[in-house]
Chains A and B, each alone.
Chain A
Amino acid sequence: MAEAVSTERVAANTNYATAIREALFAGAISFGLFVLLVGLKTDQNIRNELILVQRWGVLAILVLLTMAGRFAYVAYLQPTLAARAAARAKAPAVAVEPSALRKNWTKLAVLGLFLYPVVIVALVGLQGSLKWVDNFGIQILIYVMLAWGLNIVVGLAGLLDLGYVAFYAVGAYSYALLASEFGWSFWILLPAAGMMAAFWGVILGFPVLRLRGDYLAIVTLAFGEIIRLVIINWREVTNGSAGISGIPKVTFFGIFNFDVSSPHYIGKVLGIATSGAYYKIFLYYLILLLAMLTAFVTIRLRRMPVGRAWEALREDEIACRSLGINTTTTKLTAFATGAMFGGFAGSFFAARQGFVSPESFVFLESAIILAIVVLGGMGSLAGIAVAAVVMIGGTEILREMQFLKAVFGDGFTPELYRMLLFGLAMVIVMVWKPRGFVGSREPTAFLHERKAVSASFTKEGHG
């Protein structure tokens, strides 16, 4: 007994010893890296001379942070991860049935989402709720919807699409142009924008879908850029890079609207005080319903023959063909369906911003949406929603972290570091869960019992 304890202690001691050594190494390396990048800064003084500003304090903080991080990783995180991996290796390959609480979790989450604006308004008042409903609620839900749409293409059908934002742009410009030119209502233009995006999905799909893997990725990437360049250069129609402003707001099915000067303003109709928050809350519920629609359709489609064919395509295209499945049309439907939801989201985006410009549809957007899908676990709606909350919510939270200025000095603007955070989070999640937050797959039909399929069996698709 005593012996066992002592060997354990010895193991722990050596663990700390290696951790300290590793931390020193990491410190030395980070010092080497940062000494020129951070420790010294070139600047101009009043006489326009180039001078060196020395920032040893910041450098020390960075190096210490690195050392602490490395120490914590080697001393604590690594052993737990190893133990977890060992436990997982021992566990059976098929994931266990989720408990009843976890099954109802989605329902609770949806309920929570519906109550969210109410709770926020109750907590911080109508005016204070603006930021929370708009920046957090709506912003995150747009990305949830986009990621769920892209999930059909990438997660289910296994087609790597790097130009998804093109369909978002098509939807946004469809609404922006048609609404400001013809004054058509959002409720007509929403499906129209979806159709338009789906149509472009098919147009792109026809020539492209015979390509696979990297080639498909590159062509879709190019397509995204082409759409953006067309928008920039087709000035007569799209007003070029200046964008389109004054896009009409969404009305509540024509019963009342959110235009303060209009006689049908919600405040006048319902006899309540004027506030910009109504529109935001209305938009919140609108995008929530649109996202729910996306989820609902995805769940339904997965249980239909097309949805199964999409997943089969991801697993093995050749086997699909040998079973008489027309792989071209199957891919096209996946592309078109994904694009359609992108178009819906785009028209919502245009209505929410009141302004669209090509700036909003750069490749980075595609990359972020794809990152959310991959982080969440390809194919899993819940995982993707969590990933969107973490990624988009996380970058928004950075804006709130003004106290960081106290640490890094007044010139520090935390939101500039969102991409750094994004990358860091991705690396961490990919190390910790290579298949994303939810790697397992829910089968679409079962005979005896529904068992989740472990990620080790599913494939990502090759294009």
Chain B
Amino acid sequence: MEYTVPMPDPILKVEHLSMKFGGLVAIGDLSFEARRGDITALIGPNGAGKTTVFNCITGFYKPTEGMITMARRDGSAYLLERLPGHEITARARVARTFQNIRLFSGMTLLENLLVAQHNKLMKASGYTILGLVGIGGYRRASAEAIDLAKFWLEKADLIDRADDPAGDLPYGAQRRLEIARAMCTGPELLCLDEPAAGLNPRESHALNALLNDIKDHTGTSILLIEHDMSVVMEISDHVVVLEYGRKISDGDPTSVKSDPKVIAAYLGVEDEEIVEVLTEVGDDRVIEELDAEPDRDHGPPDSASMLAGPVTDTIAHSDDEERVSVMRGASKAERIEEREARDRAAGISGQPDDKRGGGE
């Protein structure tokens, strides 16, 4: 868990990233690094901007400001905010999953994993033309693609259901399939948006096993959004904490866990102050609510009408409830900062929150 001193080089460098939606600053001047081979966790309360960070990294949003650098193993570096969306996966080798699972539900598990190998297979089939008339190495490439798919189906413990439609899988299996599908693109950085959300303990366990397997055996670095502190503590090497689009803490899990700002952001400020903060903010959400199951339906699912409206224009948004307007004093971490400043001014030495540190 502890950092060893010769740090591996960063695979992903996010510098001064800002994302504004109209007047709402979803991310404000965020900088962090993910190290190669690590599992980096991005945590924070609902609406903190974690998914927005992912959408900026994977090209679904163009950031208002900032620079995102992806350094590949072969030494090439890519500025992700300048690449067109699909090339981020195809060339910079960043793959992602979605908070609201996005599988090709009418295609079988195997087909899902074959679609993920599209670019490779396109080349092998001579951009369809050679493959159509049956010359070139398409047949072999296709067999290799099926082998790779089989490999990941086995890893995800889904091989028995390879020929079933993806939409027919239970929730936990769908999450694992989405990860397996992302892995089939051959990524160097895998971004997972709340993979453990809504899983029961057994599924959660299977997921952790899969993630550790990926980390240990493929050399793929992982960037992970997670709510569940216990999962974060268990598997991540490095944690970045967001609140209202700002980074409030950054470090290894133990140090982050004992950071008073994190505690304030996550658990509310303790004792008499918690009441004060909550009434001031008008926010009575508690930690359990943060763990609520994400909604699974991506809009009206069974509309038989071809004219049914587009439902996919926003990306991976769980629900309206997580829309938080930033108001003065809303940030709990900010309150801690303020208090520290006040205390310093009053001449009190030391950390007033020492006794609370590492309490969880």
Contact = CB atoms under 8 A, between A and B. Distances in A.
A214 interface: yes
Nearest to A374: B306
A320 interface: yes
B118 A305 contact: yes
Contacts of B103: 315-316, 319
- Most B CB atoms within 10 A — which of A304, A322, A325, A461? A322
A443 interface: yes
Interface stretch (B17-25, B62-70, B160-168, B196-204): B160-168
Contacts, number: 173
A52 B58 CA distance: 72
Interface residues of B, number: 59
Contact of B115 (A297, A312, A434, A457): A312
Contacts of A311: 104, 106-107, 111
A102 B164 CA distance: 21
Nearest to B112: A312
Interface in B159-177: 159, 162-168
B162 A462 contact: no
B156 to A, nearest CB: 14
Contacts of B111: 308, 311, 443-445
Contact of A447 (B89, B138, B150, B307): B150
B122 interface: yes
A321 B150 contact: no
Contacts of B114: 305, 308, 444-445
Interface in B57-111: 58-60, 85-90, 95-96, 98, 102-108, 110-111
A445 B60 CA distance: 30
- Most A CB atoms within 10 A — which of B60, B88, B102, B125? B102
Nearest to B108: A443
Nearest to B117: A305
A451 B149 CA distance: 18
A301 B104 contact: no
A301 B132 contact: yes
B131 interface: yes
A326 B131 CA distance: 19
A459 B105 contact: yes
B233 interface: no
B165 A324 contact: no
Contacts of A305: 114, 117-118, 121-122, 125, 128, 131
Contacts of A212: 310
Nearest to A379: B106
B104 A315 contact: yes
A304 B132 contact: yes
B116 A450 contact: no
A214 B309 contact: yes
Interface string B129-168: 0011000001000000010001001000001001111111
B218 interface: no
Nearest to B309: A213
Contacts of A454: 165
B162 A448 contact: yes
Contacts of A448: 162-163
B181 interface: yes
- Most A CB atoms within 10 A — which of B60, B98, B128? B128
Interface string A302-318: 00111011011001111
B308 interface: yes
Interface in A263-317: 297, 300-301, 304-306, 308-309, 311-312, 315-317
Contact of B307 (A217, A317, A445): A217
B304 interface: yes
B118 A213 contact: no
A458 interface: yes
A448 B163 CA distance: 7
Contacts of B221: none
A463 B118 contact: no
A213 B115 contact: no
B105 A315 contact: yes
Given A94-B164, A457-B167, A320 B106 contact: no
Contacts of B119: 324-325
A315 B164 contact: no
B163 A446 contact: yes
A304 B89 CA distance: 21
A434 B128 CA distance: 33
A460 B310 CA distance: 11
Given A304-B125, A308-B114, A316-B312, A324 B105 contact: no
Interface of A: 93-94, 154, 160, 212-214, 217, 297, 300-301, 304-306, 308-309, 311-312, 315-327, 333, 374, 430, 434-435, 441, 443-451, 453-454, 456-463
29 contacts: A297-B132, A300-B132, A301-B132, A305-B121, A305-B128, A306-B122, A308-B118, A312-B118, A315-B104, A315-B106, A317-B312, A320-B115, A322-B58, A322-B182, A323-B116, A324-B90, A324-B119, A325-B115, A443-B107, A445-B110, A446-B108, A446-B162, A447-B146, A447-B159, A448-B162, A457-B166, A458-B106, A460-B308, A462-B309
Query: 5 closest A-B pairs (Cβ-Cβ)?
Result: A458-B106, A324-B89, A324-B90, A457-B167, A315-B104
Given A94-B168, A459-B105, 12 more contacts: A212-B310, A305-B125, A306-B122, A317-B312, A318-B98, A321-B86, A322-B98, A324-B86, A450-B163, A456-B167, A457-B105, A458-B106
